[in-house]
Structure 1
Amino acid sequence: MKLLMKIALMLCAIVIMQQSAFAGENVGVRQIAAPSRERGYDLAVTVWYPAESGGKPVSLGENVFFVGTLAMLDAPISDRKFPLILLSHGAGLAGNAQALSWIAVPLAKQGFIVAAPTHPGNTGANRSAAETMKLWLRPSDITETLSAIGENDLFKEHLDLNKVGMLGLSMGGSTALAIAGARIDPKRLASYCDTDALNPSLCGWVRQSGVDLHAMDLTLAGRDNEDTRIRFAVAIDPGPVDVFEFNTFSRISIPVDLVNLGQPRKIPLTVQAAKIAEAIPNATYSTIEDASHFSMFAECKPGAAEIAESEKIGDPICSDGGGRSRNEIHAQLIDMVVTAFGRALKPSP
């Protein structure tokens, strides 16, 4: 019986890898560096782009929990100009740029260049609660990524810098709101983890790490991070939204599409975007009711939920809203995002 189960799991993994390989056809990926004056060192930036044949197949975002997405490392870029999408990831297990390859690769297939910095301290061996909670540095990472790719020898001739958008998921969604012009309220940020009412998972980690938000230097937290080069933004389950000055949402001048994952009454307040959409002058709002916040993670490998439980991860990383598979939910999200950026940035035929 155990042998049959192992064979079934292997076959399942092969099918998933074949699907991922197909998804990465004609999509190139490269790493570039973005100098960061605020961080004091270069940011690692992953860039996905429409490509010609060539390059080396690589699996991006794969780990013990999640299936990777294939792309072609260092493939030659297609010879024309493309709109640019800046991409911002969340924190935790999916807290790096390549974890979002599942959505970046389809965007590149549709004629966009996608550039994502890995926000320092959000994941991996150098994970830091203190760095993660310096939310005002994330928009700066995006701004510096935009400047760097615009000067990069490989990409600068292939970018239409009049067509620049921003896509953010989870904490990356709040980054998108900040880059669009919303401002953090330092007092709200300082008190965010006073209880577990807003975000038990994140705040539990903050406290276990010995970080006192009231003791942090929040002098720059409320600054204006707007980057007017960015013309359109999509924010999926943006969080934490309860650290912003609510009246600054009305000052956002670019169009913003907001998406929540889950049934309206079950969406956590810290990512609830319905009222924010009402406050932003040119915003749309939609939900995917049979999804969950964890639906923005890559597809789970067979047995990943059990591994997460044994390692006391605490979050149901492989659970969606019920009904459809994560692959089906991803297909809907990808269609929504491709349609939104196609409407706003209009890639050339």
Structure 2
Amino acid sequence: MSIFLKALAMLGAFSALMQAAGAAGIVGVRQVSAHSGERRADLEVTVWYPALPGGTPVVLGESVFFAGTPAMGGAPIAGGRFPLVLLSHGAGLGGSPAAMSWMAAGLASRGFVVAAPTHPGNGGAHRSAEETMKLWLRPRDIGATLDAMIGAPDFKDHLDAGKVGVLGLSMGGSTALALSGGRIDPDRLAGYCDDAARNPSLCEWVRLSGLDLHALDMREAGRDNRDRRLGFAMAIDPAPVDVFAADSFAGVSVPVEIVNLGPPDKIPQTAKAGGIAAAMPHGRYLNVEDASHFSLFGLCKPGAAEMAEQEKIGDPICRDGGGRSRQDIHAQLVGLAAAAFARELGVGR
């Protein structure tokens, strides 16, 4: 079969999957629980999915700065089986599944089930610098979520067996890289904030919290967090990437797609990942030059930029890289992710 005919076949299969999600592309959302043996606690998991009419209108991810994303709480799940995308969120203002709802809902409307655990201590009222910097715990949260989804009564009969991938945004991107086989170098992580300029907002928070990374128990930091049940990993503006052992990526066997945001000469070193993609046997690298790391946040409300400045947030959370709107950038990123997961997981085959 020619490349052109293969592309047509894939497009047809993907279109059929989208139609199975419902003619209106309805997105449902529910909460499930995933037990983490390592954390000795249950994780809250938000699940977006293709739905049928019904449920209660909800908006996820809305804050004083950002507009939220609508979904239908408790809506009936559409018939059929769908690929599963495990989503890992970032830290700080992006430190919750709801903050990534624009991506999750976008993928669900295109025929994917998306499950995102809350990484404890990475955001919200109980945010903790120490828990945030224990990067090696995050991949196990994703593994626990996969365990829960496989057995969840509401979803187990709607998952396409073996078609599972992980998507990470910002710090979640580093989590996705760890799940694919990248290993943290404990010494690099311990010295991460020795030069605060590497990540000014994060390292300033670490300093103000009184956390000494050199004193953090790093005995498990360099472990192998690879999850061989995952068929594909995608990381969008992963950070920090400069805490990994560079030679660990040569052993990554699954396809990995990495997307950086911003002009190549403006991407911070802690997020620049082109070299990592090149080091992987099946790595792929894309660059969206007219975006910025802050494009991963939700759509800013009117006056949000001024309010963030007054609140001394420190980062230009409403600033994107070029002349395009954040809405357009989100649409592109959702499209890139949907196409990548459809391609790599073999949607419809």
TM-score by length of 2: 0.92
1:1-349 to structure 2, matched below 5 A, reads 26-348=26-348
- One-letter amino acid of the counterpart of residue 302, structure 2: P
- One-letter amino acid of the counterpart of residue 315, structure 1: D
Cα displacement (A) at 1:211: 0.3
- One-letter amino acid of the counterpart of residue 297, structure 1: F
Cα displacement (A) at 1:25: 5.1
CA–CA distance in structure 2, aligned partners of residues 113 and 213 of structure 1: 37
CA contact (8 A) 2:85 2:114 kept: yes
CA–CA distance in structure 1, aligned partners of residues 338 and 179 of structure 2: 20
- Percent identity (aligned): 64
- One-letter amino acid of the counterpart of residue 62, structure 2: E
CA contact (8 A) 1:277 1:285 kept: yes
CA–CA distance in structure 2, aligned partners of residues 304 and 117 of structure 1: 27
- One-letter amino acid of the counterpart of residue 337, structure 2: V
Cα displacement (A) at 1:197: 2.7
Counterpart of 1:20?
A: none
CA–CA distance in structure 1, aligned partners of residues 344 and 280 of structure 2: 17
CA–CA distance in structure 1, aligned partners of residues 25 and 139 of structure 2: 31
CA–CA distance in structure 1, aligned partners of residues 219 and 200 of structure 2: 25
CA contact (8 A) 2:25 2:110 kept: no
CA–CA distance in structure 1, aligned partners of residues 96 and 346 of structure 2: 28
CA–CA distance in structure 2, aligned partners of residues 307 and 40 of structure 1: 39
CA–CA distance in structure 2, aligned partners of residues 347 and 30 of structure 1: 24
CA–CA distance in structure 2, aligned partners of residues 128 and 161 of structure 1: 36
RMSD: 1.0
CA contact (8 A) 1:64 1:304 kept: yes
SS in structure 1 at match of 2:125: coil
Deviations 1:280-339 (A, max 9, x none): 110111111110000011110011111111110000000000211111111111111111
CA–CA distance in structure 2, aligned partners of residues 48 and 337 of structure 1: 15
CA–CA distance in structure 2, aligned partners of residues 239 and 226 of structure 1: 18
Deviations 1:27-49 (A, max 9, x none): 10000010011111100000000
CA contact (8 A) 1:25 1:71 kept: no
Cα displacement (A) at 1:277: 0.9
CA–CA distance in structure 1, aligned partners of residues 124 and 182 of structure 2: 29
- One-letter amino acid of the counterpart of residue 190, structure 1: A
SS in structure 1 at match of 2:270: helix
CA contact (8 A) 2:25 2:50 kept: no
Cα displacement (A) at 1:347: 2.9
Cα displacement (A) at 1:198: 1.2
- One-letter amino acid of the counterpart of residue 173, structure 1: G
CA–CA distance in structure 1, aligned partners of residues 257 and 195 of structure 2: 30
The aligned length equals 326
- One-letter amino acid of the counterpart of residue 46, structure 1: T
Deviations 1:162-183 (A, max 9, x none): 1001100110000000000110
CA contact (8 A) 1:164 1:229 kept: yes
CA–CA distance in structure 2, aligned partners of residues 123 and 88 of structure 1: 13
Counterpart of 2:19?
A: none
TM-score by length of 1: 0.92
- One-letter amino acid of the counterpart of residue 112, structure 1: F
Deviations 1:233-278 (A, max 9, x none): 1100111001100000111000001100000011000000110111
SS in structure 1 at match of 2:54: coil
CA contact (8 A) 2:177 2:235 kept: yes
- One-letter amino acid of the counterpart of residue 295, structure 1: S
CA–CA distance in structure 2, aligned partners of residues 145 and 332 of structure 1: 27
SS in structure 2 at match of 1:265: coil
CA–CA distance in structure 1, aligned partners of residues 25 and 99 of structure 2: 18
